Amino acid sequence: MDRHFRFRKFIEWATWFGMLGCISVSVFFLVGILGYVLVHGAGYIDWEFLTAMPVPAGETGGGIANALVGSFLVVAVAGLMALPIGIGAAIFINEFPSHGFGHTVRFLAEVLTGVPSIVVGLFAYALVVIPSGGFSALSGSVAYAFIMVPIILISAHEALRLVPDSLREASLALGIPKWRTIMGVVLPVSSRALVTGAVLAISRALGEAAPMLFTAFGNSFWNVNLTKPVATVPLLIYTYATGPYEDWHQKAWAASFVLLLVVLFTSVLTRAFLRSKSNE
């Protein structure tokens, strides 16, 4: 009896130890990756890096300004397309119950979040690049928008669901029409969560390189024209990292560091946003 008990105790201890090991593996990789990027990338960042244009291949110096601006441009246009669609659809699903049509849309959004980003890139290629005859920032925006819409829709829908019906009733009972109730009460009350969802979607799009491969395509020069190819940060990282020049590798690390900072920053921001909302 005692032997059996000791065996069970041993199992208890062994499993605890094993699980500690699992957690350690996760934490190890986190620290390893973040640390590696920090060490290899942070030192290279200076004002020139952030504001200068790229120099011809093989030379040192220059920067990634065109990619920073390009990423911003492509994501901003994508946001202009994706936000109305995502939030508008979420409003429809939640505020106008409709016997299954709304459920279908929500279900589709959940499924769409699983579409690989490279397939989204192919979609944008077939939809925009082929008919227009060339790569363009706009096609990149379409790809990003496609990735962003499901994320925004789902988070906006959840945000709207959290608004208590009693507030809608209060407004309607004052003789306010439904649409004004939605715009004047429901949206402002859920605004924090809506913004959080939008920020998450934007942050996700900013880091995606695969769709850019055959849409925005990349550009060594300055471009803010939507109909022409444009450089974006994640694609630039890929091009430089797989290229032959040591300087390019160095720049890829620095750019990775910048990208990582942006992603971490938005993650912390949205976390703080959500927590302060639940404290109200």
Over the Cα atoms of the chain, what is R_g? 24
Considering only residues 28-57, where is the footprint of other proteins by CB under 8 A? 29-30, 32-33, 36-37, 40
How crowded is residue 51: how many other Cβ atoms within 10 Å of its Cβ?
Answer: 11
C-alpha–C-alpha distance, residues 49 and 60, integer Å? 11
Please report whether residue 182 would count as binding other proteins according to CB under 8 A: yes
How crowded is residue 59: how many other Cβ atoms within 10 Å of its Cβ?
Answer: 10
In the set 2, 4, 26, 133, which binds other proteins (CB under 8 A)?
26
Q: x/- contact string, 75-94, with other proteins (CB under 8 A)?
A: ---------xx-xxx-xxx-
Nearest approach in angstroms of CB 201 to other proteins is 12
Q: x/- contact string, 215-254, with other proteins (CB under 8 A)?
A: -------------------x--xx--xx------x--xx-
Nearest approach in angstroms of CB 267 to other proteins is 6
Please report whether residue 176 would count as binding other proteins according to CB under 8 A: yes
Residue 237 in contact with residue 252, Cβ under 8 Å?
A: yes
Please report whether residue 117 would count as binding other proteins according to CB under 8 A: yes
- 175 in helix, strand or coil? coil
> Which of 145, 246, 248, 253 is closest to 201 using CA atoms?
145
Please report whether residue 136 would count as binding other proteins according to CB under 8 A: no
In the set 61, 221, 271, 276, which binds other proteins (CB under 8 A)?
271
Residue 230 in contact with residue 203, Cβ under 8 Å?
A: no
Residue 215 in contact with residue 136, Cβ under 8 Å?
A: yes
Please report whether residue 18 would count as binding other proteins according to CB under 8 A: yes
In the set 67, 68, 77, 109, which binds other proteins (CB under 8 A)?
109
Q: Which amino acid is at 222?
A: W
